[in-house]
């Protein structure tokens, strides 16, 4: 006879290609242990070609998973294959969190929640601003733009090397979101209350450009969604220029919360022990 733990075991996954660098198993493993939940959360390396079959097995129950996280390169296909994407996933055209409910595959995107919850935790009141500047218009910046707009920030300015990518996002996210070329960065930073970096600037071996943060509104918050290293070159500069900074690790931790609650039924907290655990892991695995 199977023991009762096995009978009630709830299983969740993180899937991507590759997936072995994901820190999500560490995060969810910490919460499973903390709540003493009989569950598993494990990495599933799935190629793009195999992804539809993986989702089919989730839908028909044969995989044994209740749901999971989806990372690069499957976020768009996960959204398309879901039966019930929510409004956030619908607007982004991408999903990072899936779960089965009443026989249907639901999908959302929790990156925006991760972004805002991190700022709420580390710099409450960050959203009482008129204007924000986002540097970068790649996949990772989309949920950030959506979340800042949804908080009611009046003007969200996206600055990108390839301005057409910023324009595509401005079209997607409506009247409050504006696109600018890099040449306009200094001008759009003037008086802004929030600066967000979503690029890998200064981390690919090249030197980070020197930015004049002093034109931002006084007390403006500078944050980065990149969390390796914890203090990115742009955060170092902003701090040296006297601005409060928020690193991106909290975004990773907070984006995991809604998924855990969907699969395992408890809403976990992001605490210092968890943050330290992930930082220690970054130290040992880069
Ligand atoms: P992700 O999905 O992680 O956001 P991405 O789609 O490759 O990754 O986007 C990376 C972002 O960093 C883009 O905004 C990119 O600018 P382009 O759209 O012009 O490529 C930006 N980026 C990366 N390296 C850069 C560099 N050296 N200078 C300026 N922008 C850079």
| Cβ of 201 below 6 Å from ligand 1 | yes
- Nearest residue (by CA) to ligand 1, atom 14, is 136
| Residue 197 domain-assigned (yes or no) | yes
Same domain, 43 and 66: yes
Say which of 20, 34, 59, 75 is annotated catalytic.
75
- Nearest residue (by CA) to ligand 1, atom 18, is 162
| Residue 44 domain-assigned (yes or no) | yes
Q: Which contiguous run of DSSP H or E holds residue 222?
A: strand 221-224
For the stretch 135-147, pLDDT in tens is 999 989 999 999 9
Span 202-211, average pLDDT: 80
Same domain, 49 and 134: no
Active site residue 75: yes
Same domain, 163 and 223: yes
How far does residue 168's CA lie from ligand 1's centre (Å)?
A: 14
Which among 238, 166, 154, 167 is positioned nearest to 196, based on CA atoms?
238
The parent domain of residue 17 ranges over: 2-110+251-284
Residue 193 pairs in a beta bridge with none
How far does residue 216's CA lie from ligand 1's centre (Å)?
A: 23
Span 180-184, average pLDDT: 97
Same domain, 28 and 101: yes
| Residue 271 domain-assigned (yes or no) | yes
pLDDT at 177 over 90: yes
pLDDT at 4 over 80: no
Same domain, 8 and 54: yes
Same domain, 162 and 212: yes
Same domain, 44 and 67: yes
Same domain, 193 and 134: yes
Domain edge (last residue) among 243, 260, 276: 243
pLDDT at 125 over 70: yes
CATH number at 160 reads 3.40.50.720
pLDDT at 204 over 80: no
| Cβ of 197 below 6 Å from ligand 1 | no
| Residue 116 domain-assigned (yes or no) | no
| Residue 183 domain-assigned (yes or no) | yes
**Closest ligand 1 atom, residue 135 Cα:** 14
**Closest ligand 1 atom, residue 161 Cα:** 19
Same domain, 83 and 183: no
Say which range, 137-141, 200-204, 272-276, has the weakest mean pLDDT: 200-204
Q: Which pLDDT score, from 0 to 100, does residue 208 have?
A: 83
- 67-70: strand order across its sheet: 39-45, 10-16, 67-70, 97-101, 104-108, 84-85
| Residue 48 domain-assigned (yes or no) | yes
The C-alpha angle 162, 165, 171, rounded to 5 degrees, equals 140
Q: How many domains does the chain have?
A: 2
Q: Which pLDDT score, from 0 to 100, does residue 154 have?
A: 94
Q: How far apart are CA 246 and CA 253, in angstroms?
A: 14
Measured between alpha carbons, how far apart are the two ends of the chain, in Å?
43
Mutate to test the pocket of ligand 1, among 133, 134, 136 (most ligand atoms within 8 A of CB): 136
- Nearest residue (by CA) to ligand 1, atom 9, is 138
Q: Which pLDDT score, from 0 to 100, does residue 95 have?
A: 98
CATH number at 58 reads 3.40.50.10860
Percentage, residues of the chain above pLDDT 90: 91
Same domain, 233 and 271: no
Same domain, 149 and 99: no
How far does residue 138's CA lie from ligand 1's centre (Å)?
A: 6
| Residue 153 domain-assigned (yes or no) | yes
- Nearest residue (by CA) to ligand 1, atom 16, is 161
| Residue 134 domain-assigned (yes or no) | yes
Mutate to test the pocket of ligand 1, among 74, 199, 233, 252 (most ligand atoms within 8 A of CB): 199
* pLDDT classification of 8: cutoffs 50, 70, 90: confident
Same domain, 39 and 69: yes
């Amino acid at each position: 006879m199977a023991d009762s733990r096995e009978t009630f075991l709830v299983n969740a996954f993180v899937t991507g290609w590759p997936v072995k660098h994901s820190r999500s198993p560490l995060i969810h493993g910490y919460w499973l242990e903390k709540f003493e939940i009989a569950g598993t959360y494990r990495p599933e390396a799935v190629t793009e070609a195999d992804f539809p079959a993986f989702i089919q097995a989730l839908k028909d129950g044969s995989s044994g998973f209740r749901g999971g996280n989806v990372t690069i390169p499957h976020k768009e296909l996960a959204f398309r294959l879901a039966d019930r994407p929510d409004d956030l996933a619908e607007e982004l055209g991408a999903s990072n969190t899936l779960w089965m409910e009443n026989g249907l595959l639901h999908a959302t995107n929790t990156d925006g929640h991760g972004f805002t919850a991190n700022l709420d935790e580390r710099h409450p009141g960050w959203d009482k601003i008129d204007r924000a500047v986002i540097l970068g218009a790649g996949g990772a910046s989309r949920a950030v733009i959506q979340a800042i707009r949804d908080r009611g920030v009046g003007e969200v300015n996206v600055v990108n090397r390839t301005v057409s990518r910023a324009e595509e996002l401005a079209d997607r996210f409506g009247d409050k979101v504006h696109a600018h070329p890099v040449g306009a960065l200094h001008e759009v930073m003037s008086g802004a209350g929030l600066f967000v970096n979503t690029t890998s600037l200064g981390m690919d071996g090249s030197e980070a450009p020197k930015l004049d943060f002093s034109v931002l509104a006084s007390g403006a918050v500078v944050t980065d969604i990149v969390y390796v290293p914890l203090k990115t070159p742009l955060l170092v500069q902003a701090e040296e220029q006297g601005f409060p900074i928020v690193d991106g690790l909290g975004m990773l931790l907070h984006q995991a919360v809604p998924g855990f609650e969907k699969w395992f039924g408890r809403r976990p907290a992001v605490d210092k022990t968890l943050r330290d655990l992930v930082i220690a892991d970054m130290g040992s695995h880069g």
